[in-house]
Amino acid sequence: METRRHTSKQYETDLQEVKENLLYLSALTQKAIEDSIQALLDRDSDLARKVIASDALIDKLDDEVEEKCIRLLALRQPAARDLRFITTAIKINGHLERIGDMAVKICEKVVLLNEEPQLKPYIDLPRMAEIARSMIRASLDALVNEDVELANRVRREDETVDSLNEQIFRELLTFMMEDPRTIHRALLIMQISKTVERISDHAKGIADMVVFMITGKNVRHQWPHDEEAAPGQKET
Amino acid sequence: MRLERKMKGRLFYKILATYLILVILVIAVMEFFLTPRVRDTITRGVMDRMTGHARIMALMSMDELLAKVGELAAGAGARITLINPAGKVLADSSEHDQKMDNHLNRSEVQEARIKGLGTAIRYSRTLQQNMFYVAVAVREKDRLQGYVRLARSLAEVSLSIEYLYRAIYLTLFIIAIPSLLLAFVFSRNIVSPIRRLTELTQRIRAGETPPPMLADSDDEIGRLIQDVNFLLEQQQEKIRYATAEKSKLEAAFDGMVEGVLTLDGDNRIDQFNRGLRKMIGKKRAEILGKTPLEVFRSADLQAALIRFRETGETIQQEITLGADRPLILNANISAIKGYPGNEGKIMMVFHDVTRLKQLERMRMDFIANVTHEIRTPLTAIIGYIETLQQGTVHDREQTDRFLRTAYDNARRLNRLVDDLLTLSNIETGEAKMQFREVNMAEVIGEVGKTMASQAAARQIALEEDIPTPLPPFYADRDRVFQILLNILDNAIKFTPPGGTVRINATGDDGGFLVVRISDTGIGIPKQDLPRLGERFYRVEKNRSRESGGTGLGLSIVKHLMAAHGGRLEIASTPGEGTTVSLYFPAAGPPGANTRP
């Protein structure tokens, strides 16, 4: 996108601003995820409440990006790559906003969990959250650098998170079967785990849109490993 | 090359044309001013001579004239006509007299009849060309005898003028050849230095620094060359100066430990130093021309930047980059003011405060931990003693139990204070170390025996794998015992029943005697590994205290290993187990052999 030049400087600036806002939004959501997991690990309800409060900024930015994109569509009537970029931006914006909401959801559960003693040390959950967070970052990297390869890597990463989620699920199930008193806490942790898994789904959604933006191919309803099997799509 | 030929050609032709125009001008001037005069002069000369001849002939008598008309005509170079007073032609040097008509009406004859001498220029029908006539009256004792008339063609005059001009044109032609040559040489002498000068200036324009040109003459061109040389030198001097200044600044800029960058009006990074590049570990192309958000991806930094743009006040913001090994930076955002050409620019300075933050956290944790560790047993002691004081407990057995608990807690407190003291002594170097030759196999055996009952109680298999003989090494035997005991104690504590703890020693691993203690315990998460040696640091807040530790064990081990000149390495996989490797230098710590 760097090399692209438009006759209108203002148009150029507007597009750049949308990109910057998306990056800001992604940085904010990543921080929200990090903080929510930190709040879980440290049993820090104050931090959790801070994350919940900070969602307002994410929502505000989300509105701004959407408005800017719609205005660009109406005023500039972009074509080809610009059109794809703007529609992609609208979609990514939506995903990021949902991710922000999910961080809030996690924090709400953390506050509830902190009212009871810790059930078990968290090992897989922070790992999972870190993968989900890095997926968001990588998908935005792919957007900025127009890197299809990276976007596809993000899309495959989703499966790792899915399997971690299942693992946590099974583990918590044994806890609940052993001691019914843990059910409430285990369910909360399960919900957190499920939410993290949903975050990674959204990150994959962003990566899908990035692939669409660069190649013009809609891959949203394809599995990444299906493509690998296809000829000419070999991994290096 | 083409330019050179064109230049030479142009100037050459200009000079040549000048010469040619000069020649043509000379000819034109001659044609317009000289020719009529020359023609006049020659004509008049011919006329004067003929008039003279005529006057001389008039002195002769008619008869004499008639007799010698042929000789006279040859002598004078003219045609002679003798006419009687009535106008009848008596004789003619070129024609038969009877054929000629009466000549009295001829203007020269008429003039001679009145004045005695008459001249005329007229077209002769007889000879069909312009002729000059002169007639003189021949008198004898005042009586008119007749007229003698001389005639000569003026074509002769034209011919002599033609001769004259031919000579002049020849001369001019002869002059033109050397003048062409001269023009060539002249133009070459001027063009050549100018051409070299042009080449020089072209190279300067292209950004090169050509060597100065040799000025081989003192004329205008020579002075021009000298001036160009001077300007060239001056320019190079300025460039050298500017480059030196710039490199000085850059050296200072790059030499800074702090990361520095500047943002242009479009929020893009237009300058940064090596410190920044090293700090965030990115390539040049990944920073230059990007926005801070693209480079740092930090929501906190972006928020600070937005705040700065709103308020214009210098802002300090702590940002954390990276997740695995977090980098904590203190960012300082300020405007660049008072430097022309830098309006609207923003400067960001980053200090790496990761280590500082770590230390700060360690200190805070330490104080919190010490307080907590001391308070827990104290609360218990105070609680039980208060209960006993109130005298409500009369049961002997219960009193005993209360006292024992109080005593246990007091002992724990004592242990804690002992550990803290030990740690403090090792740290300050006050602890006296007794370095002697130590048999590691023996020490391991003793430690194993000490821990055997504890391991058995937790149904943990204790395995020793010691090759014999292990090389002896220098160490403080009691301290080594303490180190091994601490590590083994931890391994047993954090291994679930049914697990295995294995002690393994290697004699010589690059000058080190290595003891490895591995367990099949719960393991330690990756992010906790770097902090394990910190005082009171616990992987999980309650895990060590529940198992009765003071939270100082590993810290003491770490410091004791350092006192031995060795080191401690911990590798762990959560859920699979931990391996602690102790590296003792085989020769003991530096200078240990000389100690008592």
A123 CB neighbours in chain B (<8 A) are 525, 574-575
Angle CA(B91)–CA(B92)–CA(B94) in degrees, nearest 5?
150
* Residue A105: count of CB within 10 angstroms of its CB: 19
Q: Which residues, 6+ apart, have CB-to-CB distance to B342 below 8 Å?
A: B262, B336
| pLDDT the model gives residue B591 | 54
Question: B574 to chain A, minimum CA–CA distance in Å?
Answer: 8
| pLDDT the model gives residue A200 | 93
| pLDDT the model gives residue A229 | 42
The answer to whether B361 faces chain A, any CB pair under 8 Å, is no
pLDDT per residue of chain B (596 residues) written in tens, 0 to 9? 444 455 555 666 777 788 778 878 887 887 788 878 888 888 888 888 888 888 888 888 888 888 888 888 888 888 888 888 888 888 888 765 556 778 888 888 888 888 888 888 888 776 677 888 888 888 887 788 888 888 888 887 778 878 887 888 888 788 778 877 877 787 777 777 777 888 888 888 887 777 777 777 777 878 888 888 888 888 889 989 999 998 998 888 888 889 999 998 888 898 898 889 988 888 888 888 888 988 888 889 999 999 998 888 899 999 988 766 788 999 999 988 877 777 788 999 999 998 888 888 878 877 877 887 788 888 888 988 888 888 777 788 888 888 888 888 888 888 888 888 887 877 777 667 778 888 888 888 888 888 888 888 888 888 888 877 777 788 888 888 888 888 888 888 888 888 888 888 887 777 788 888 888 888 888 877 877 777 777 776 555 555 556 677 888 888 888 888 888 888 888 888 889 988 888 776 655 444 43
Report residue A233 as tokens: 């799509």
| pLDDT the model gives residue A203 | 93
| pLDDT the model gives residue A230 | 43
> In degrees rounded to 5, what are phi and psi of residue B263?
-110, 135
Angle CA(B180)–CA(B184)–CA(B186) in degrees, nearest 5?
110
Pick the CATH number of B432-595 from 3.40.190.10, 3.30.565.10, 3.40.50.720, 1.10.3720.10: 3.30.565.10
CA-nearest residue to B323 within chain A is: A130
CA distance B196 to B324: 65
What class has domain B14-161?
alpha beta
| pLDDT the model gives residue B430 | 67
CA-nearest residue to B522 within chain A is: A121
DSSP codes joined into one string, A210-235 = HHHHHH----TTS-HHHHHHSTT---
Mutate which of A1, A24, A51 to test chain B, going by most B C-beta atoms within 10 A? A24
Q: Which residues, 6+ apart, have CB-to-CB distance to B227 below 8 Å?
A: none
Query: For the domain B358-427, what is the CATH code?
Result: 1.10.287.130
CA-nearest residue to A120 within chain B is: B540
| pLDDT the model gives residue A223 | 62
Contact B323 A134 (CB under 8 A): yes
pLDDT band with cut points at 50, 70 and 90 for residue A76: confident
pTM exceeding 0.90? no
Give the pLDDT confidence of A135-188 residue by residue, as tens digits: 998 998 888 888 899 999 999 988 889 999 998 999 899 888 888 888 999 999
Q: Which residues, 6+ apart, have CB-to-CB distance to B537 below 8 Å?
A: B365, B528, B531, B551, B554, B555
| pLDDT the model gives residue B496 | 86
Question: B396 to chain A, minimum CA–CA distance in Å?
Answer: 36
| Buried residues in A81-92 as b, exposed as e (16+ CB within 10 A) | ebebbbbbbbbb
H or E stretch at B362: helix B354-389
| pLDDT the model gives residue B6 | 52
CA distance B490 to B52: 159
Question: B323 to chain A, minimum CA–CA distance in Å?
Answer: 8
Q: How many CB pairs under 8 A join A and B?
A: 34
Report residue B403 as tokens: 């006292």
Q: Look up tokens 């009145």; give the residue.
A: B114
CA-nearest residue to B297 within chain A is: A27
Contact B540 A121 (CB under 8 A): yes
The answer to whether B265 faces chain A, any CB pair under 8 Å, is no
**CB–CB of B403/B388 below 8 Å?**
yes
Packed helices A45-76 and A9-42: angle between N→C axes, nearest 10 degrees: 160
CA distance A160 to A221: 18
Q: Residues in chain B, how many?
A: 596
The answer to whether B36 faces chain A, any CB pair under 8 Å, is no
HSE (side-chain half, CA atoms, 13 Å) at B333: 24
Residue A225, Cβ density class (10 Å: 0-12 exposed, 13-18 middle, ≥19 buried): exposed
Nearest to B297 among A126, A130, A137 (CB): A137
CA-nearest residue to B304 within chain A is: A24
Q: Chain B 532-551, CB below 8 Å of chain A: which residues?
A: 540
Pick the CATH number of B256-351 from 3.30.930.10, 1.10.10.10, 3.40.50.300, 3.30.450.20: 3.30.450.20
Cβ-defined contacts of B453-459 (< 8 Å, 24+)? B454/B489, B454/B492, B455/B492, B455/B501, B458/B492, B458/B495, B458/B497, B459/B497, B459/B498
Give the pLDDT confidence of A113-127 residue by residue, as tens digits: 988 888 877 888 888
Mutate which of B286, B293, B319 to test chain A, going by most A C-beta atoms within 10 A? B293
B531 CB neighbours in chain A (<8 A) are none
Interface ipTM: 0.80
